[in-house]
Amino acid sequence: MRRVAPPDTDVLATARDLSIGYADALGRTIGVVDRVGFRLSAGEALGIVGESGSGKSTLARALLGYRRAGGRFLGGALEFGGVDLARADRATVGRLRGIEVAMVPQNPLSSLTYHMRVGAQIEEVLRTRAGHGRAAARARALELLGAMGLPEPAAIARRYPHQLSGGQRQRVVIAAALACRPKLLVLDEPTTALDKTTEVQVLDLVVRLRRELGTTLVLVTHDLNVVAQVCDRVLVMKDGAVVEEGVVRDVFASPRTAYARTLLDATLRLDAGPAAAAPAAAPILSIEKLGFVYDAPRWFGLSRSPARPALTDIDVAVGRGEVLGVIGESGSGKTTLGLIVAGMMGASRGRIDFEGTSLAPRAAQRPADVRRRIQMVFQDPLSSLNPRHTVGAAIIRPLRRFFGLDRRAARARAAALLQELGMGETYLDRYPRQLSGGQQQRVAIARAFAAEPDLLVCDEITSALDASIQAQVLDHLLALQRRSGASMIVITHDLAVIWKMARRVIVLRHGRIVEAGETAEVFAAPRDPYTARLLEAATRATRATAPSTAVPQDAATP
């Protein structure tokens, strides 16, 4: 282990010419962080932004002395608390983790042990890392859960991770990370999967804890609005290098590099022009009095709790060629609605008509031509694509099955679809895991449009994408939709996506429609307090990121 000079009391961490790489399948070293330098002052909040693959998560995790399998420090130094993490041995790094520096990962469900109660998981951290006894650990765990703003901490402590909402799980993970009062807290995309109101609650919690505890923060995110709300300074990364650094307000107002400006311009904004109004058209889909109730869990044939309604009395119509937005918090029923329309689930009651004909509840019960004409694009493209099939096989299959094309014609059509989505023919021979998240989502969109659908259901298709990739995917999707004339139902918790794409919107809460109308009218003057809260949550950070040189663009312009 190499010990460096005693650190400046005002500087918590310093990187000098830090380079990190990974070995590929052939043993070659691929650089992912290239000669990065920065200083992290005690008590400040530093944001690290950039596109997927820019090296931001690798850099942040290096602050815990962590590298993925095959990774290695290639040069430079990364000093924290007087220790050079680039050269420290495993034991030294182990003594820092959880005590001096802790991390909140992107997916709280995967970072929690599913078969342990959440209170016991926090107690384990306190007993193994802080040396607390059983009683002291239990008392401190309850104190932490209360500090996170969770209701009834004792009841929450007894629950398992799957029994908590996404926002509650994220608060539990933050509580575990703060259990030993670390000097530095690294947060890697902590709000990616959260709806806007829950996101704001979690970010407000982080800001409050930072103020009360004096904790230094490093926040990795692709959401520039989150950085504007939480951080003092920002690093902008591209291809492993820092291309811009400075105070958040200065960088966002007057970016010096073209890349930083591109990221800012790609951030969807509610102050840009709304989606263009389209003339009224006959409905292609009509939903009347739709309801769905999840079966109550049973134990030896006996119900342990009442059945839970997910949708109640849903009435909505989608016009031919129209884009309808569906928004609401997690658990509002919006994904359930999309799955029922696509035939993945059967409604408990109500009626769905497609071009005047009643739809069978399940896709397997519908004629092949109806299955072709109603397609769905899922939130996680990687899990919806067969990892053993190439991109070409995924897109070619519907072309051959629904239209009887031979393999050569189907491949040519698949290549043309990818071309429309900004990808070349060479991608046909790749496997899903060889693509970025944005590329995977474009493949899923291409597969859906290969069937030439008349109605496309899109469920949170941009939630895990960085701002510039999200904008590209939505632009390509809109171009395909306009060319084909397909109707779309866009389900999302991101109101800016609806502003860009949908002329009309419905707002769901607890399985009921609480507001519906023209997007511009609903967003300008929401009638329901719930809609107003969603809008306030979506715009409070967005307003802070407006560059002084930005010129609003009409979102409807191709």
* pLDDT one-digit tens code per residue, 302-326: 555 556 788 999 999 999 999 999 9
Q: Residue 497 domain-assigned?
A: yes
Is the distance from CB of 380 to CB of 433 less than 8 angstroms?
Answer: no
Instruction: State yes or no: pLDDT of 188 exceeds 60.
Output: yes
Q: Residue 132 domain-assigned?
A: no
Residues 366 and 252 in one domain: no
Q: Could you tell me the pLDDT band of residue 506, with boundaries at 50, 70 and 90?
A: very high
Q: Residue 207 domain-assigned?
A: no
Residues 245 and 370 in one domain: no
Residues 242 and 372 in one domain: no
Residues 390 and 456 in one domain: yes
Domain residues for the domain of 445 are 283-545
Q: Which of 191-200, 414-423, 500-509 has the lowest mean pLDDT?
A: 191-200
Mean pLDDT of 164-193: 90
pLDDT at 305: 55
Rounded distance between C-alpha atoms, residue 166 and residue 160, angstroms: 13
Residues 326 and 248 in one domain: no
Residues 250 and 375 in one domain: no
Residues 424 and 483 in one domain: yes
Rounded distance between C-alpha atoms, residue 487 and residue 454, angstroms: 6
pLDDT at 554: 38
pLDDT at 359: 95
Instruction: State yes or no: pLDDT of 549 exceeds 60.
Output: no
Residues 246 and 395 in one domain: no
Residues 351 and 461 in one domain: yes
Q: Which of 167-171, 267-271, 348-352, 443-447 has the lowest mean pLDDT?
A: 267-271
Vertex 106 angle, CA 19 and 139, to 5°: 115
Q: Could you tell me the pLDDT band of residue 555, with boundaries at 50, 70 and 90?
A: very low
pTM of the model: 0.77
Neighbours of 1 (CB within 10 A): 11
Residues 371 and 520 in one domain: yes
Q: Residue 161 domain-assigned?
A: no
Q: Residue 226 domain-assigned?
A: yes
Q: Could you tell me the pLDDT band of residue 1, with boundaries at 50, 70 and 90?
A: very low
Higher per-residue pLDDT: 483 or 300: 483
Is the distance from CB of 183 to CB of 102 less than 8 angstroms?
Answer: no
Is the distance from CB of 55 to CB of 106 less than 8 angstroms?
Answer: no
Q: Residue 358 domain-assigned?
A: yes
Total domains present in the chain = 2
pLDDT at 73: 92
**Which of 444, 500, 445 has its CA nearest to residue 467?**
500
Instruction: State yes or no: pLDDT of 534 exceeds 70.
Output: yes
Residues 259 and 393 in one domain: no
pLDDT in tens, 53-103: 788 989 999 999 988 777 889 999 999 988 999 999 989 998 899 899 999
Residue 251's CATH number: 3.40.50.300
Q: Residue 1 domain-assigned?
A: yes
Q: Residue 374 domain-assigned?
A: yes
Q: Which strands make up the sheet holding 11-23, listed edge to edge?
A: 29-41, 11-23, 71-80, 83-84
Q: For residue 282, give the 3-state DSSP assignment.
A: coil
Place of tokens 């989505």: 421
Residues 234 and 321 in one domain: no
Instruction: State yes or no: pLDDT of 352 exceeds 90.
Output: yes
pLDDT at 3: 40
